[in-house]
Structure 1
Amino acid sequence: MGKLILQRSILGLLTLLAASALIFIGTEVLPGDLASAILQNQATPENLAKLRLDLGLDKPAILRYVEWLFGALRGDFGHSLANGRDVLEEIVPRFANTMFLAAYAAVVAVPLAVGLGLAAAIRQGGAFDRTVNILTLMTISVPEYFLAYLLIKYVAVELGWFPSLANVSSDTPFFDRLYYAFLPMVTLVLVIVAHMMRMTRASVLAVMASPYIEMAILKGLTKTRIVLRHALPNALAPIISVVALNLAYLIVGVVVVETVFVYPGLGQLMVDEVSKHDVPVVQACGLIFAATFIVLNMVADILSILSNPRLRRLR
């Protein structure tokens, strides 16, 4: 297990390096630059040249990337080109908001998805199983931004139950945060519950075809006991993997949801800074997203191996 963690850690660091380079290249190829965005109508050639010199944009792109990379290795992500603030000061409160929204959605989505998947497996072929499968297929097929706008139109505007804008801050009380972030949370839950529920159901039903399950049925055990006590422990590996991937989506894939609801999280910050060509902030946000995805995938692999003795013997 130690060897596995070491291998995945090295691969994760290489992936982070590649991700940082891709993010930098993607920001560089966008039309215009920060100097043009700041000066706008006053963007004469002389003013542009002076501002680019002040911001360090006159240096070659590869040199700016290498300088940023070595600074990041020392824990120094530089300063925002747009406002001069330290990048970490910009990111920390936004990242806390994103983690709050992700945790809020995970607490609701994971038990709901696993419970629905087990219930559908127990009632395979019944009305409940067919209904849940149809509903989850519908939510998988609809983009999250469309679900978000539907919730805004009907729940926020017409019914007036929740605000359409999730305007929270560090001073917002906990229960007020839950209230303001309810619609973004519901949007994320609708998106990820379907994947986890369908994987839970499929994994359990695959194990149900095993000979030892047939023996349990012949012994007269109830289907609920068979699923919970005998099938579920052996179906945990793929369930853990899909749960971890969807938890990664809750943090990495919140960009669209945060933008629609104007939620002050890391995704919203990244969108704003991309439009300004503020490369240090965009780089830092991208690295956080990439690191989160890599770490959760590694945790999923390790937990899958620990939950299945056969995989441990293969290692």
Structure 2
Amino acid sequence: MNGVLPLIGKRLLLGLGTLLVVSIIIFGAVELLPGDVAQEILGQSATEETVAELRRQLGLDQPAYIRYFQWLGNALQGDFGTSLANKRSVAEQLGPRFLNTLFLAGMAALISVPLAIGLGVLAALMRNSIYDRVANALSLVSISSPEFFLGYILIVFMAVQNPWFPAIANVTPEMDLGTRIYRSTLPALTMALVVTAYMMRMTRAAIINLLASPYIEMARLKGVPNRRVILRHALPNALAPIINVVALNLAYLVTGVVLVEVVFVYQGVGQLLVDSVSKRDFPVVQASCLVFAATFILFNLIADVGAILSNPRLRHPK
């Protein structure tokens, strides 16, 4: 355990450093956008004095580096400022939306993770069979298809031609759990289709790679059945790469939902981000991007820690 803690500490420091760099990129990208925010809010008919006063109220008259440190310090305390569009607190708008996004990602994970691992193990058991070839072909099609395209296909077949689920996943806080799950099914299936295919292929590859190991060959020479070889010997040793892939795909489920939420008009952070970009509501845009970045980095840290704990070779490098 003494060797694990320093490795985890290094990963945490690296994650914090990465988040700091990303925050600089987010703030700098917004600063480089053309146009004057104060002028955009007041319109072209506003006088120079009015624009200058609004710039002073928004702090735009200060140097960029001062505004960055003020924004970062407030963000670390949970204060992302005030929305320029509706004058509401950004944190109040972002909180419920982020919970909705986590709920959608959780639904997709519950569908995709066990399904992907099961299909990957089965494909390794039936390597080079018809099932294996068909599964690989379908997974390639799923990976190659954009999320919005898969979403529209599901809408056509499962909402228009067969009205099983609603095409618009409008969820509200007062909905009960059953209704929320029902309305979120199509966007969750859309996201699950992509990550299931990727995780299935990685699980299959990890197990097949281990099947060529000497201890697997020894188990087979002893007459151990093939299924037991995979389930008792290969799968436990394939946990490290599988955990890594699952954690990275969970990060994608949270941060890659922008297009899916727009297609299904789902009230999550992705939809809020797109709406805020169209309104030039920069405080909300910066906060949404920072939340996405922090979530992705967090899941990457979880993947690294999971790989370290499940693989002794990473704890004792040569």
Q: TM-score, normalised by structure 1?
A: 0.94
Deviation at 1:196, TM superposition (A): 0.5
Deviation for aligned residue 1:103: 0.4
Contact in 2 for aligned 1:165/1:263 (Cα 8 Å) = yes
**Higher deviation after alignment, 274-283 or 42-51:** 42-51
* Greater Cα shift, 8-17 or 56-65: 56-65
Corresponding residue for 1:274?
A: 277
Match of 2:31 among 24, 28, 33: 28
Could you tell me how far apart the structure 1 residues matched to 2:50 and 2:154 are?
46
The within-5 A match list for 1:113-124 is 113-124=116-127
8 Å contact kept, 1:68–1:280: no
Deviations 1:69-93 (A, max 9, x none): 1222333322222222222111110
Counterpart of 1:169 in structure 2 is: 172
**Between 108-117 and 45-54, the greater mean CA deviation after superposition:** 45-54
Output the CA distance in 2 between the equivalents of 1:261 and 1:240: 30
What is the alpha-carbon distance in structure 2 between the residues aligned to residue 270 and residue 34 of structure 1? 17
Q: 249, 252, 264: which is aligned to 1:249? A: 252
Q: Cα distance 1:151–1:43, how it changes in 2: closer, same or farther (>3 A)?
A: farther
Q: Which amino acid is 1:148 matched to? A: G
Contact 2:11 2:304 in 1 (8 A): no
- Deviation digits for residues 58-77 of structure 1, max 9, x if unmatched? 33333222211122233332
1:61 maps to 64
The residue type equivalent to 1:99 in the other structure is: L
* Superposed counterparts of 1:141-290, under 5 Å: 141-290=144-293
**Partners of 1:127 and 1:27 in 2: CA distance:** 51
Counterpart position of 1:130: 133
CA contact (8 A) 1:98 1:251 kept: yes
Q: Distance in 2 between matches of 1:119 and 1:165?
A: 35
Closer/same/farther in 2, CA of residues 197 and 296 from structure 1, 3 Å limit: same
**Residue 6 of structure 2 aligns to which amino acid in structure 1?**
K
Counterparts of residues 9-28 of structure 1 (less than 5 Å): 9-28=12-31
Identify which range, 212-221 or 130-139, moves more after superposition. Answer: 212-221
5+ residue gaps, structure 1 = none
Secondary structure of the 1:314 match is: coil
Q: Give the % identical residues.
A: 57
- CA shift in 2, pair 1:36/1:163, >3 Å: farther
Counterpart check, 1:111 vs 2:114: yes
Q: Is the Cα contact below 8 Å between 2:119 and 2:200 reproduced in 1? A: yes
Aligned mates of 1:41, 1:160 — CA distance in 2: 47
Cα distance, 1:156 vs. partner?
A: 1.5
Shift, 1:3, TM fit: 1.0
Indicate how the Cα distance of structure 1 residues 231 and 64 shifts in structure 2: closer, same or farther if over 3 A, else same: same
Q: Which amino acid aligns with 2:188?
A: M
Task: Give the Cα separation in 1 of the matches to 2:166 and 2:49.
Answer: 47
Q: Residue type of the partner of 1:9? A: L
Deviation at 1:47, TM superposition (A): 4.5
Unaligned runs of 5+ in 2: none
CA distance in structure 1 between the aligned counterparts of 2:100 and 2:245, rounded to whole angstroms: 24
Q: Is residue 248–residue 296 contact of structure 1 (8 Å, CA) maintained in 2?
A: yes
The separation in 2 between residues aligned to 1:158 and 1:32, in whole angstroms, is 45
The answer as to whether partners of 1:27 and 1:277 remain within 8 angstroms in 2 is no
Cα gap change, 1:46 to 1:171, in 2 (>3 Å)? same
Q: What residue is the counterpart of 1:52 in the other structure?
A: 55
Q: Deviations over 1:20-49 (max 9, x none)?
A: 111112222233344344334645555544
The two structures have a TM-score, normalised by structure 2, of 0.93
Q: Structure 1 pair 310/67, CA: closer, same or farther in 2 (3 Å)? A: closer
Aligned-partner SS, 1:32? coil
* Paired residue total: 315
